[in-house]
Amino acid sequence: MFYVRKSYRDMEEWLLASDAIVKELGLKEIPDHSTLNRTYKRMRMKLLEALQRQLLDQLQPKELGIAFDTTGFSPTQASMHYLARCGRKYDQYYKGGYAVGVESQLILASMSGQGPGADTGFLEPLRRKAARYGVRGQWMVLADRGFDARTVRPEDLIPPIRRGNTMKLPQRIERMELVSAARMDGYFGQRWKVETVNSVIKRKFGDDIRSKKPSRRNREPIVKGLIYNIHV
C-alpha cells in the first residue's frame, strides 16, 4: 500500500485488477480492505525492526561512512493550498530518522519521532542500530550540525555549532578542523546521499502520514524505510 500510495480500499481494488501482481505475490485469494488493515495493525515496531535486520543480514553491507539525517512527513494528505484557504494549521509533524550507508545507499537504521525539534535525540539510537553494519573500529558518522550533541565522538564528521558565535573548547575546534578537511577532499559531500534517500522515499512512497491512530502514525516512517530497502 505504501509502495503504490493507496488506501486499504484502493489497494483491494488494485489487486483485483492486477492478475500479474497477485500471481507474483502468491496470493490464492484477494484480501479485503479490513484484512489489510488488521495486518498492518499487527506489524509492531519489533516486527518491523526484525524484518529490516533480516533483509540487511542477507545483503551484508559493510560501511566506512554512515550518513544520518531526519526528514518530516505531513500529518495530513491535504495540500498546503487547501490548508491555507481553510485556515487550518499543523504545529507538529512526524519525523523519520535514517542512517544510510555511503557505499550501499541502504537504510541501515531508522526511527521515528515528532517535530519540530532538535535532531540530537536521534544520534545515539541511530548509531547503536547502524553500528553492526559499519567496519569495526573504522566507520564514522556523517551528519549536519543539527546532530551536534554532547554525545558526539571525536571521529564523527558533524560540524560543531558556534554557540555565542565563538568556539572555545579544544575538542570542538579539532572537530571543526576535521570536518573542514573532509570538505576539502570531498568526503563530507557523501553526506548528501542520505538527502537523496529522503527525496526518493517522499517521491515514491509519499510525504504524508496516512494512519489516524498515533501508534500507527509512528510506524509509517519505519515502514517507508523498510520498503525503500526492498525497492532498491
Is residue 98 within 8 A of residue 107, CB to CB? The reply is yes
State the average pLDDT over residues 39-67. Answer: 90
Contact, 65 vs 102, CB < 8 A? yes
Position 3 pLDDT exceeds 60: no
pLDDT above 70 as % of the chain: 91
Question: Is 95:115 a contact under the CB 8 Å cutoff?
Answer: yes
The pLDDT tens digits of the residues spanning 94-104 come to: 899 999 999 99
**For position 90, what pLDDT does the model report?**
67
CA–CA separation, 181 vs 185, rounded Å? 6
| Helix and strand element counts for the chain (H, E) | 9, 4
Among the listed residues 205, 14, 212, 194, the one whose alpha carbon sits nearest the alpha carbon of residue 103: 194
DSSP 100-127: EETTT--EEEEEEEEESS-SHHHHHHHH
In this structure, which amino acid lies at residue 60? Q
pLDDT on residue 115: 80
The residue ranges of every structural domain in the chain are: 1-42, 60-231
The residue assigned the cell 509533524 is 93
Q: Which residues lie across from 71 on neighbouring strands? A: 96
pLDDT band (50, 70, 90) for residue 1 = low
CB contact at 8 A, 197 and 204 = no
24 φ, ψ (degrees, to nearest 5): -65, -35
- The C-alpha cell 479490513 sits at 34
Tell me how far apart the alpha carbons of residues 87 and 89 are, in angstroms, rounded to a whole number: 7
Residue 33 above 90 pLDDT?
A: no
CB-CB contact of 225 with 194 (8 Å): no
State the pLDDT at residue 102.
95
For 69, the grid coordinates are 539525517
Banded pLDDT at 80 (limits 50, 70, 90): low
Q: What is d(CA 149, CA 145) in angstroms, rounded to the nearest whole number?
A: 9
What's phi and psi for 112, nearest 5 deg?
-125, 160
Q: What angle do CA 143, 147, 148 make, to 5 degrees?
A: 110
Supply the pTM of this predicted model: 0.85
The predicted pLDDT at position 35 comes to 83
- What mean pLDDT do residues 18-24 have? 78
20 Cβ contact partners less than 8 Å away, ≥ 6 residues apart: none
Using one digit for the tens of pLDDT, what is the confidence trace for 131-149? 999 999 899 999 999 999 8
The residue type of 102 is V
